[in-house]
Structures are given as C-alpha cells and as structure tokens.
A and B are shown apart, each in its own frame.
Chain A
Amino acid sequence: MQHDDAIWDLIGNDNFCSYKVKTKTQQFCRNEYNVTGLCDRSSCPLANSQYATVREEKGLCYLYVKVIERAAFPAHMWEKVKLDRNYAKALEQIDENLIYWPRFIQHKCKQRLTKITQYLIRIRKLTLKRQRKLVPLSRKVERREKRREEKALIAAQLENAIEKELLDRLKQGTYGDIYNFPIHAFDKAMEKQEEETESEEEEDEEEESGTREFVAEDEFEESDLSDFEDMNNLKGSSDEEEDDEEESGEEEESEEELEEEKTKAKSKGKAPLKGPIRKKRAYVEIEYEQETEPAQKSKAI
C-alpha cells in the first residue's frame, strides 16, 4: 500500500539502513520508536505505516501510535498517550488504544511496558540502598605511590627503629623492675652511690652486729669472688637493703641454675629474668667501695 513493502525492499534484509546494527547472528534496529529492538519486517517503524510503541520519559510511560492517515504530516505523525502509573491500568489503556490492531503490535507493546516498569522499580530500590561510589584510579599515580612506598619502607628501617625505641624505653625505666639487667642497675646505683657514700658507710657500721657471715674455703678462686661481689654490690646498691646481703650468697646459686635453665628453655619471660651474672666488669669505683666495707661476703660452701 503506502510504500511499506517498497521501503522494506530498500532497507530490509541485506540492504543498508542507517539504524541497522549487524552482528554475526542478528540484526538490531537503533530506531527509538522500535518496539522490539530487532530489525524485522514487522518491527521496523519505517516500513510499517501503522505502528505503536511504549517509551519511558522521566519515570512515566507513554504510548506512541503512528497511523497512516498522518503519514503526510511528519511533525504530528506520532500520537503520544500518557499511560497510567498503575501497571494493570496501563495494560488496559494499551488494550483500549490499540483495539483492533494486529496482535503482534499489541503484544509487543505490553511486553515492552512490562520491561520498563520492572526496571523502573529496580531503579527506585537501588536508590534507596547505599550506592557504591566508584573512584577511578590513575594507573600512573598508583605505580608512583607503590614505588614511593617501597622506598619509604627501605628508608624506614623498621626493625632498627623498633629495637632502638624498646631499648630507650628500657633505659628510661618504663618497664620498672621486670628486667634486672646489671648495667642499668649499676649506672643508676653508681649515681646514687656517689651521692650517698657516707650515709651508706654509716649504715654498714650500724648493722654489723646482726649480720651473718660466710667464710670461704682456701681453694676458693678470686675470679668467682669478684663476680659474686659484683652481684652483692648490685643487690646492695639497687635495693639499698643490707639485709639481703647475707642471703645473696645462697640466692646466687639458685639464680645461676635458674638462669641456665631459662637461657636454654627460652621462657616467655612471665617470671622476671635476672640478667647475666657471668660478666666481669672493671668498675674501679666499686672496688674502692668494697675496700671500705668491713666484711667480705663470700660464697657459701
């Protein structure tokens, strides 16, 4: 009739149509008024003078109807009918408007309406949920950051820094009396000793009467003695209690045994570790002090 077939011959199956998109198996139609989206004899809006579609604008569905009577007036060719928001009512409206129309077009229009309402519902649901914001990453920037991070890691020297910090804290005494390392106690003790030598001497003299003494055997070695004297001194100076001195001899033995066990077993350190006793230190000042002390402490037999 009105050029339909002629038009289809021109733009149809293997011919050129500017709205046609061809893939391996199928042809699509990019025309906005196409109901199905496929390039078909019955779906082509150009090759059908009587045609209808459903389109959606800003959340509202409209029925577009084209009839042959208006083919001469391109500006008014499509009649736009606003459809109801209610899905069921909209279907009835389509039925009403497209009464006596070929079933294919009616059916396709309703199908399209269904699809549109479904995706509108989904949009509304999604906007209620939290939207994930996608932030684009610049590859160059990411690479640069990664490299800078590696360099920073090397420059940081983390293990050294952590160890240094821990040792500083130990020196400052934040750990209190948990770790009795001799040198630290020594340093502090020495400072105190220098201030209070006189008062200590007096105390020594006073407490002489109640103290016990352990006398060494003849075969006793000087080297061992010096170590234990150091320990004595330590205890005496750090605790500043002369009462411990008589017990220190016995304690040393047990301490040594314990220490050996501990160093072998590498305990977790729930019990406070005593520092290494075996070290000899040449602290001249301390020896001076020993000379002033009246009694020589020595190891129990």
Chain B
Amino acid sequence: KFKYCRSSSIAWGKTKKVKRKVKPDEAPVQEMDQAEGEETEKKSVSGPCFPPTFSVSEIKNKQRRHAMFLKLKEEKRKQKLELKKKKKKERKALGDQAPPKEVPKTIENQRIYDETTVNPEDEEVAFDEGTDEFSAYFSRLTNPKVLITTSDRPRGRTVRFCEQLATVIPHAHVYYRRGLALKRVIPQCVSRGFTYVMVINEDRKVPNGLVLCHLPDGPTAHFKVSNVRLRKEMKRRGKDPTEHVPEVILNNFSTRLGHSIGRLFAALFPHDPQFVGRQVATFHNQRDFIFFRFHRYIFKNEKKVGIQELGPRFTLKLRSLQKGTFDSKFGEYEWVHKRHEMDSSRRKFHL
C-alpha cells in the first residue's frame, strides 16, 4: 500500500497506518495496545498509535486524508461483516429459539406519525364524510359526469392525453378551451349537470398540472402532474379500454387529507363497476405521490391474477386543496403545500 510510509516513524503518530476509530467510546485503547503490540513485533499495516481525540478531518494533506478515510471505511465494513457473521452463527446455533429477524428500516416504517391519520372506526370522520360534499355521490344520488379541458392553446401531447383520459373515465367529455375563464365555465357546467371539471395545465408542450374541481360547490384540488405516459408509449400494453365501467382501487390514503382526496378520486367513477369489463383504475399513494394506473386483469386461478396495463399512466402530487369551486384569489384553502414547512423532514408525509 503505502510502502514508503512503513519505514518512517513519526513521533506524533503513524497517521498512514492508523486504524481509525469512529467513536471514541468503542474502546480504542484496546485496539491501540493491540496494534502497538503488533507493531513492535512486525512492521505490518495495522499499526495505530494515535491520540484518542484524533479525527480524519484534521489531516491537512488531502491525499493522506483520503487514504485515511478509505482505511476507516474498510475497517468499518470489516466490522460490519464480522458482526453479521457472528449473528448468523448465533442464529444457527439457537435454531428455533433465535430471536426473530429484525425488520429493516424503510421510510414507510420510519414515517412520522401524523395526528390526522384516520382510524377506521372513528365516528367523527364517519359523520364528516356523511355530510361533506361527496355525500351526494356516496349515497347514490348523483352520477358522475366529467368535463375535461386544458389550458389555452394545448399542444398535441396534451390533447391526446385528454382524449385518453376521456376513454378511461366513463361519462367524460373533452372540450376545447377557447380562452374562456374558468370562473365563467363553472356555472355553465353546473347548469348542464356536470359533476366534475378537470383542467389539464400545460407547459412547454407537456401536461404538468391538473385542477380537479367537484362541481356543485365542491372542493378544488390542484395537482402537479409528472411522468405522463400515453398509450402508445406503454410497453406490452393491451388493447384499448372498452366502455365498461372500471373498478377503482385507492391505496394508502391514510390521513384526513388523504381521505378527502381519495373520495375526490372515487367520485370520478360511477358506482357500479362492470366486472365483466375486468378493468381497474388504481390511485396508489406512496410518500405523497399518487400514481395512477389503468389495468385489465384476469384471474388465472384463485391465487393468481394477471394484470396488463392499458391506458395512460401519470403521477400526481397534491399542491393545494381549496374549499369551494375554483377561485385562486379569494378561495378558502384547506391545505396548501408549503415547501419550507412541509418538506423539512424526509419522513413526514401528508396524504
């Protein structure tokens, strides 16, 4: 390795060969003694004699510092491997009585508990949901009818995306936005019996935003859209979706906010899915990203199902939820994504 260094013995410590200890409380002294003992016998690489308050970052020379750091990492890795081996042996030795395997930490495991997480038996939540804007839909009084439109002067990609969305969502109509103001569009839609207005915003020839407005004065959600994949860009896709009403899967909407967004999505689709069509639309929430997929499934047997992706796919990220129909200036916002407050922790999610 660093052969030229072996022969030299600097009074204050052989920094090159120093086996660095990360935590001073990990009994470095023993190591040191050991190493010193070794060193006196053979001039090997493992020869640390360092003062306990030593730190790799104190070495001014970059190359030496780097080398020290690499050694340090190597040592840590070795220790880790040893530990693993030891544990494995113990586990084998104990056999049945071995303690259960430790669950690895994931972001979902370590998620900061959100106080607004919905408990399934919560009465208050149930009451709220019985009386909110979607109660009409969930008590089967209204059928969804969706109007899909874009921002001004949409480009081809956005137009095609709208068309494909219209095939995925039953009773959806695409209209060309001729520079009309949303605030004027919405009362007209209400009068014609629409329950939803979906506006796909476009930037640089690519759809990048979605405003979903539930119509008879329902909440308005504004999402950021990313990773839009149109049908022809899908690999191994199936044939075009049929006219059957798809099923809906909503995954991982756990908090109050998540619940309301979930209901927002659920109310897009008619109540009774036609199982004959074997189509399913999925809204899967993971770490505040909502992934939309549209599949056709087939049950091969009772334990196995095959799914084939049709339809467009995209991901959404909620930016704001506003009570009432679209009014960006004077609307009352239930939830707005504030980057500095909400993105400060990697383990905190809101949906």
Contact = CB atoms under 8 A, between A and B. Distances in A.
Contacts of A270: 276
Interface in A185-213: none
Q: A interface, by DSSP: helix, strand, loop or mixed?
A: helix
Interface in A114-168: 129-130, 132, 141, 145-146, 148-149, 151-153, 155-156, 158-159, 161-163, 165-167
A181 B302 contact: yes
B333 interface: no
Query: How big is the B interface, by class?
Result: 35 or more
Nearest to A159: B307
* Size category, A interface: 35 or more
Given A141-B339, A162-B282, A181-B299, A153 B291 contact: yes
A295 interface: no
A184 B302 contact: yes
A101 interface: no
A74 interface: no
A165 B283 CA distance: 12
Contacts of B108: 155
A170 interface: yes
Contacts of A178: 275-276
Nearest to B302: A181
A270 B274 CA distance: 11
A59 interface: no
Contacts of A182: 302
B303 A276 contact: no
A276 B282 contact: no
Given A163-B307, A181-B302, 20 more contacts: A130-B152, A130-B181, A132-B152, A141-B339, A148-B287, A149-B227, A149-B315, A152-B288, A152-B289, A152-B291, A153-B286, A153-B289, A155-B286, A156-B284, A158-B291, A162-B284, A166-B249, A167-B303, A181-B299, A181-B301
29 contacts: A129-B179, A130-B179, A132-B152, A145-B226, A145-B317, A148-B287, A149-B227, A149-B315, A152-B289, A156-B284, A158-B284, A158-B291, A158-B293, A161-B282, A163-B305, A166-B297, A166-B305, A167-B303, A170-B299, A170-B302, A175-B275, A176-B275, A178-B275, A181-B301, A183-B302, A269-B278, A269-B298, A273-B299, A276-B301
